[in-house]
Amino acid sequence: MKKTICFTLMFAILLGGCKFKEFFEKKKEKRAETEHHFTVKVPVTVSEAHFGSLRKHVKTDGIAKAAQRVEVTAELNEKIVWVKDCNNSFAEKGSVIVKLDNEQLLLDLEKAELNKRKAEAEFEAWKKLGENSSDEQLRLRTGLTEAEIALKRAQYNLKKTEIKAPVSGFISNLELVVGERIRNGDALFSVFNTNKIIVKANVLESEINRIKPKSKARIKFPGLKNKVFSGEVKSVSPEINESSRTCEVEILISDNALIKHGMYADVKIDAENYENRILVYKDALIVRDGKKLVFAVEDGKAKWQYVKTGEENENFISVTEGAEPGQKIVIKGNFSLSHDANVKIEEEIEFEKLARIF
């Protein structure tokens, strides 16, 4: 009996020792995990809080238009005898683009010149006879005035047989064929002066009063791999389109060598400007338990700071309370952080480089 009791007691002690050892091993592992949590540094990206101005914008879309577009039409009923091969090419002002048959008009010019000479001879004859009438009366009597007008008309009509580019620009819609007969008023070709490009954008009536003439704008064209151009508001229409409830805004672009007439554009126009604001990148702001906060890095640790915010745009938000200029604010890697977590700054981005153009 005593042996049984001793054996049972020894087994209990041995079992208890194993359980005790297991308990301390687990406690040791838990302590190691806790120490690991406080020693591992979380990689983050930061940017300094900035003191400056916050600019808001109005975003819309538009279509690029040549600042000057001239539609050239026929002024005579004649046959085409020559067409310059210049469709979709640049032409200087005054370049001959189309020539019309001028045989009949040359004959009309010769006849007009002959009639003028006859009238001049008759005019001189009357003067030599000592006619008491005034020169003006003699010109009318002899038909000299009428002959001079007819000559000018014949000269003018002959000039119209050479159809020229009225402005320097790109020739478009030139589809004429030699031998084709055109009629007065027919459309012949277009000239686009692309030295200046106007983007016509439609802005919602709820936002139009935020835009003023000479406001700066940024324009990008998907057809140009989203290359961004600078522009300036040239004019704001005084009327609202009743069907679309939008207002047309014209934006002038000077650096336009690549832009084509009719290109689609994304537009961002400067609107309100708020000065003397503390700004942080919008990605820095997180909400926990309904409260806004940011993480600032101090001495290698993440310090959460509750903040109050004000105006914002697509890039930045103004902080009215809870952050100071120059603080290194976490903008990436912040969602998994806790207060006093050890962090490692992997990248620090300058404030100006954070601004997304669109």
Q: For 203-256, what is each residue's pLDDT tens digit?
A: 999 999 999 999 999 999 999 988 899 999 999 999 999 999 999 999 999 878
Q: For residue 32, what pLDDT is reported?
A: 47
Domain with CATH 2.40.30.170 in the chain: 58-66+194-274
**Percent of the chain topping pLDDT 90:** 79
**DSSP states of 160-209:** TTEEE-SSSEEEE-----TT-EE-TT-EEEEEEEEEEEEEEEEEETTTGG
Q: For residue 135, what pLDDT is reported?
A: 87
Mean pLDDT, rounded, for 336-358 = 91
Task: Measure the CA angle with vertex 59, ends 55 and 60; round to 5°.
Answer: 155
- Would residue 122 be called left, alpha or beta, if left means φ above 0 and alpha means ψ between -120 and 50 degrees? alpha
Tens digits of residue pLDDT in 269-290: 999 999 999 999 999 999 999 9
In CATH, the number for domain 43-52+275-356 is 2.40.420.20
**Least reliable range by pLDDT among 29-38, 118-127, 167-176:** 29-38
Which residue carries 């940011």 as its tokens?
294
- State how far the Cα of 205 lies from the Cα of 243, in Å rounded to an integer: 12
Domain with CATH 2.40.420.20 in the chain: 43-52+275-356
Question: What are the backbone dihedrals phi and psi of residue 96, each rounded to the nearest 5 degrees, phi first?
Answer: -75, 125
Q: Tell the CATH topology of 58-66+194-274.
A: Elongation Factor Tu (Ef-tu); domain 3 (2.40.30)
Assess whether pLDDT exceeds 60 at residue 357: yes
Instruction: Tell which wins on pLDDT, 292 or 12.
Output: 292
Instruction: Tell which wins on pLDDT, 156 or 23.
Output: 156
Assess whether pLDDT exceeds 70 at residue 13: no
Give the torsion sign (CA, 271, 274, 280, 286): negative
**Least reliable range by pLDDT among 57-61, 69-73, 136-140:** 136-140
Q: For residue 134, what pLDDT is reported?
A: 87
Mean pLDDT, rounded, for 157-176 = 96
Mean pLDDT of the chain: 90
Query: pLDDT class for 97, splitting at 50, 70, 90?
Result: very high
Mean pLDDT, rounded, for 126-148 = 88
Which residue carries 């669109």 as its tokens?
358
Q: For residue 254, what pLDDT is reported?
A: 80
Query: pLDDT class for 78, splitting at 50, 70, 90?
Result: very high
Q: Between 103-128 and 144-159, two packed helices, what is the crossing angle to 10 degrees?
A: 160
Assess whether pLDDT exceeds 80 at residue 122: yes
Q: For residue 87, what pLDDT is reported?
A: 96
Tens digits of residue pLDDT in 25-62: 555 555 545 544 456 899 999 999 999 999 999 999 99
Assess whether pLDDT exceeds 80 at residue 266: yes
Assess whether pLDDT exceeds 70 at residue 7: no
Mean pLDDT, rounded, for 160-175 = 96
Q: For residue 20, what pLDDT is reported?
A: 44
